[in-house]
Structure 1
């Protein structure tokens, strides 16, 4: 369900020509720039990060992450055959897509599963160099968004930023230590 919600959110973004951060954002940007399929780009960009995933998280979470990436990629390829958009407001796509991706990531994170290498790189740099992971990830995402200005109108980039903020707010509000612990009364 997590992969499905992320892929639906990404499908909204792809149909509205919007962008998100991380590896998915890089894959969307390369898709817009080259015309190559998002599905293949998403898998290819993630390949180098699996070694880091095994080292940081262990085999089981790394395998779950690999499966989630493959599933999102496959769903992104199949969904245009399953659903279509006669009209999709870019504002709605930013809000609904960002929310869907946030909830999907929340489900995946809850089960120690991720969707890409940017988080792993940020944590690795924090451990090795001491730079805070949040700032590293913000820098990478800002670079992706800045590069988007070469291929997308500024209004689309602004909507992309708003949608990405919504996605991150869903995660920030709902993904906290202790949030999923049962309490006996």
Structure 2
């Protein structure tokens, strides 16, 4: 829950500033900007295809934990977005990108260390890390970078650059803090 709260608050900051991030969370934000569809629905739907990979490669325990994390972040994001909780914030984009992505990065490390993920790209990155040793943070930086590049379709180019900074911060924190030989919450 701690990781989910941090991720949700980070996403709230990014959304308040109109900044995007990577992964299925960033993809859901981007599609939401383009279509107006609700973020929680898009976030859950974007994760569904990756659950097959999780079941096959990581097992049911991991998959159920991941599903719980995905649903928690989707629900918590709605709660944070409600005006009655935090109100409508005006957040400077660089601040939102730096702080929001740091919060997301710390939240993801907590979630990873407890044998869970936020689905989507996280599952693929963890499976690749286990099979090849290529660090999950690097895989996610590549995939997240692609999402940020695609965000040029819906976001001002300056915000795309700010978002790219956020992707480097988020995944840099994962590269530095998530290693398979460290604590795994067992």
TM-score (norm 1): 0.86
Alignment gaps of 5+ in structure 2: none
2:140, 2:171 within 8 Å by CA — same for their partners in 1? no
1:30, 1:41 within 8 Å by CA — same for their partners in 2? yes
Aligned residues: 179
Name the counterpart of 2:114. 111
Change (3 A) 1:72 1:127: closer
1:99, 1:167 within 8 Å by CA — same for their partners in 2? yes
Name the counterpart of 1:5. 6
Cα offset, 1:25, TM superposition: 1.0
CA distance in 2, matches of 1:124, 1:97: 26
Q: Does 2:54 align with 1:53?
A: yes
1:101, 1:167 within 8 Å by CA — same for their partners in 2? yes
1:56, 1:120 within 8 Å by CA — same for their partners in 2? no
SS at match of 1:87: coil
SS at match of 2:91: coil
SS at match of 2:63: helix
TM-score (norm 2): 0.86
Deviations 1:88-131 (CA, angstroms, capped at 9, x unpaired): 11111011101100110010000011112223345667999x8x
Cα offset, 1:168, TM superposition: 1.3
Cα offset, 1:141, TM superposition: 2.5
SS at match of 1:149: helix
Looking at CA atoms only, which structure, 1 or 2, has the larger radius of gyration? Answer: 1
